[in-house]
Each structure stands twice: as C-alpha cells, then as structure tokens.
Amino acid sequence: MSHVPTSIDFRANVQQVPSTMPAAVQKATTKFLGNRAALVDALGNDVWQALRQAGHDLRLHAISNLDHYLEQAEREVIKAGGQVHWARDAEEARRIVLDIAGKHHTRLAVKSKSMITEEIGLNQAMEAAGIRVLETDLGEYIVQLKGMGPAHIVVPAFHLSTEEIAALFREKLGVDAPAEAQKLTQIARMKLREEFLAADLGISGGNFLVAETGTIVTVTNEGNGRMCCTIPPVHVAVVGIDKVVPDWESLTVLLKLLARSATGQKLSCYTQFISGPPRSDAEIGPREFHLVLLDNGRSRILQTPETRETLLCIRCGACLNICPVYNNVGGYAYGYPISGPTGVIFASQILGAKAAGALPFASTLCGACNDICPVKIPITDILLHLRRRVVEGDDLEGAAAPYFLRVGAQVGAVALGTAWLYRFGSRMLKRLQAPFVREGWMSNLPGPMSRWTMARPFPAFAADFRRWWCHRSGR
C-alpha cells in the first residue's frame, strides 16, 4: 500500500486551498526570507555568491561522479559496521524497511522528519503492515495528528495557528492544551518522550552522505532526530543516492548554505553525524544501523542533461519561501509532499508527465527561485524543458498534454513564425471572436477554450499588432 500520488490536478487542488492559507504562509515566509537576507548581508554579497558557486560546483561534481562516491560510501559504512541496501524504486525501499522491521518484531517506529520517506509513502506501508509509525518532528507530529502531510519541506505545520494546534491536541491527545506555543511544545515533548523509550525502530533520512567516511548527516532544529537515531535498538536511514558529497570539506560549504537559506540561521541547532553502530559496549546507540540508498528515478534524471541539476537540491526550502505561486496556494495544492519550485521539478520527473504533467505549469517563470537557490539550480530552464516534455513526450512517455493543446501549440508556432499567416489569422480571429466579446473581454468561450474562461476571462484580440505598432511608432 502506498500514498504515492498517481495523478495530480493542480488546478483542482488550488480550488480547495482555504482562504486563510495565503496570509498564514506569507507571514512565515516573510520571516524566513528576512532572516536569510540579514545573514547574507552580514556575510557580504561577494562571499555569499562565492559560496553559492562553490556549493553548485561541488554538488555537480558529486552527482557527476555518483558511481565512485556511492561505492566509496558503501565501503565505509560496511567498514564501520553498518549494512547497506540498494533500492531501485519506492516499492523496493518500502520492502527493505518492512523486512528490517519484521526481523525485529517492530510494533512502534519513531521517525525524524524526512522528505524521502514521504516520497516513498513509507508511513502508509508500515501502518498497513500493522506497525505504528510516529512522526517526532513537532511540525510533522502536528500534521500527522491532523491526518495530513507536510505543507512545507522545512516547517511542515507553519500554516496552522496556535489556536488550531491547541484544539487539535485537545481533540486527539485528550489534554488541556492552551493556545500557547511553549505549553504546546511541552505537551508534545512529554508525549513523545514515552514513545522514544518504547520504540523498536528509529527511522531517519539524511541531508547528506559523506563518502570519505560513510557518514550520514542530519540537520534539525529539534532534538527529536537525535532521539530517533540513538534510543531505539535499530536505526534505518533512507537516503537518496543524490545526497552523497565527497568529503567533510564539501560538507562545511553545504552546511553554511543550508542553514542560512532554510531558516536564516548560521547553523541549525542539531547537526548529527552517524557513522555506523557503536564500536564497543561502552558506547551508546542502536546495535544495528541500516542505510537504504534509494534511486527511484534519480539515475534517469541524471541521464538528462537539461534536467540533471534538479539533483543538486539540498532541500533548504528557500525557493518555496520566495515563490509567488507557493505563497498564494501553500504546499498542499501541489499534491506531493515536496512542494514549491523544487517539488515541481522533482515530482514531474519522479512521477512522470502522465501523473504530474500539470506541475511544470504551476509557475510564473519569474525566476526568483533561480536567484535565491543556494546551489544555483536553473529552475526555470528545467521547468521549460519539462513543459516541452509534457507537450511533446519523450523516450519513456508519450505526450501528456491533450490533443487539442498540442495541435493548437503547433498551429500557433507556424502562425507566429509566418508573417502573412499571422496577419491573416489575427484578422480572422477578430471577426470570429465578435459574438463572444463583452466590453473587451470574453468570458464564455465554447469548446476547449471554455477551460480557460471558466476560471478567468480572456482579453479580446484588440487589433492587428502590426497596425498597432505602426500607429504607435507613427510610421
């Protein structure tokens, strides 16, 4: 069983966005962007741009030499006493984790926040197998109680008010919860502490995997990640193959970029390094450490030069915070746990154009995401390539766009590229549109165009562009 989406209708999802969402999202994103800008200013723009370039170059180097660094990381994890599993896709990854859980008779698993386990629908698969899975990041804990997924990749529950969270705690936990952030955190902490002690399995993701020592790096602002990875007797880390970095020197650059871009901190509160299980009885920690390395379409992304840099992402969330679309619709409209610009380019490729063909169009192409991205991913170039793939298809999938759109796009391309046809066409359109025009707008077009005018009016073709241009320039 999996909750990996098979079809995403962005426009329909947008209709479900509560009216309070934009204000709640913008309040939080404004704060994060302000914090980030202050730290970038303090560092100086030249230093920041040099850091971004270094981050881009070393991430690109890592994914361009994945075979080398992944094999090195595997050797080092095994040398340190860990076990390494390779998963081709989400189903294989779920099976591996379920097998490990089954071997240890797991009844309760505690998880630290990880987008990759959301990507593979791990919670649903484990629950279906009779294993209780508890999210322990405060935001994830809240959205799990609410029966939802994360609304943001860094701050999953930031769209909920303290009043809403207090009401949720009263309803689901049966406690007297006042609408005060500190008290609510204390309640969650006390509940979670009992669960950490009772858990049979700890599950985490990994922000990075350092190849030279086989070390998993997790970056959090709460102590929950540390508890998940140290208290239960078995720890499973599910990590994308794209997360590998060559060495510790590379890691220092990426950590500087990540914390500043994500929450506007110089460094996150907890940066945890895990290199296998304890070496002796004197050391504490899980007796077994498993690393699940997941491909799930990443190697295909790697093979596509136009979209390869999708894999540079360090999931900082800055492109969500700056995106005008995300700021107006929030995370759930994307229909995928990773939302915003990075989610759009990732999900479109992981799920394919048939399931997620709507996502590359959920962008204004304003380019703010390109400018803010700490590893300089050319997001809008990738979006344009993905839009073309939706319309024209590729070697794996046929075109996903409706037939009339594809034909319309081809006719439009010919008309715009042929002067006489453009002139003739615009005169014809002006005549044909006449029955539908009311005060310069068309709001009730027939046939396929009704899909547009159902949502918003279409401006009437006002004049022949050439005539307008000649008139304007006095020629």
How many chain residues bind ligand SF4 (CB under 6 A)? 15
d(CA 74, CA 449): 54
d(CA 361, CA 9): 11
| Near ligand SF4 in 42-101, by CB under 6 A | none
In the list 77, 133, 313, 442, the residue contacting ligand SF4 (rule: CB under 6 A) is 313
DSSP per residue, 289-328: EEEEEE-TTHHHHHH-TTTGGGGG-----HHHHH-HHHHH
Distances (CA, A) of 231 to 228, 237, 324, 419, 469: 6, 14, 41, 72, 72
Contact (CB, 8 A) for 349 and 361? no
d(CA 436, CA 13): 29
Measured from the CB of residue 235, what is the shortest distance to ligand SF4 in angstroms?
26
DSSP per residue, 30-79: HHHHHHHHHHHHHH-HHHHHHHHHHHHHHHHHHHHTHHHHHHHHHHHHHH
134/372 with CB nearer ligand SF4: 372
Measured from the CB of residue 120, what is the shortest distance to ligand SF4 in angstroms?
19
Q: Is 315 in the site for ligand SF4 (CB under 6 A)?
A: yes
Q: Is 319 in the site for ligand SF4 (CB under 6 A)?
A: yes
In the list 77, 219, 291, 316, the residue contacting ligand SF4 (rule: CB under 6 A) is 316
375/442 with CB nearer ligand SF4: 375
Contact (CB, 8 A) for 331 and 339? yes
242/288 with CB nearer ligand SF4: 242
Measured from the CB of residue 33, what is the shortest distance to ligand SF4 in angstroms?
12
Nearest partner of 80 among 175, 184, 215, 210, judged by Cα: 215
Contact (CB, 8 A) for 286 and 235? yes
| Near ligand SF4 in 357-396, by CB under 6 A | 372-375, 377
Q: Is 323 in the site for ligand SF4 (CB under 6 A)?
A: no
7/252 with CB nearer ligand SF4: 252
Which two three-digit tokens encode residue 350?
A: 């992981």
Nearest partner of 369 among 324, 309, 311, 403, judged by Cα: 324
Contact (CB, 8 A) for 454 and 446? no
Measured from the CB of residue 382, what is the shortest distance to ligand SF4 in angstroms?
10
Measured from the CB of residue 276, what is the shortest distance to ligand SF4 in angstroms?
28
SS3 call for 85: strand
Q: Is 39 in the site for ligand SF4 (CB under 6 A)?
A: no
Of the candidate spans 2-10, 226-234, 248-256, 311-319, the one that interacts with ligand SF4 by CB under 6 A turns out to be 311-319
55/214 with CB nearer ligand SF4: 55
Which two three-digit tokens encode residue 164?
A: 């809403």
In the list 251, 291, 301, 318, the residue contacting ligand SF4 (rule: CB under 6 A) is 318
Q: Is 314 in the site for ligand SF4 (CB under 6 A)?
A: yes
In the list 240, 264, 317, 337, the residue contacting ligand SF4 (rule: CB under 6 A) is 317
52/94 with CB nearer ligand SF4: 52
Of the candidate spans 35-43, 127-135, 203-211, 310-318, the one that interacts with ligand SF4 by CB under 6 A turns out to be 310-318
Measured from the CB of residue 321, what is the shortest distance to ligand SF4 in angstroms?
9
Tell me which residues touch ligand SF4 (CB under 6 A).
261, 313-319, 341-342, 372-375, 377
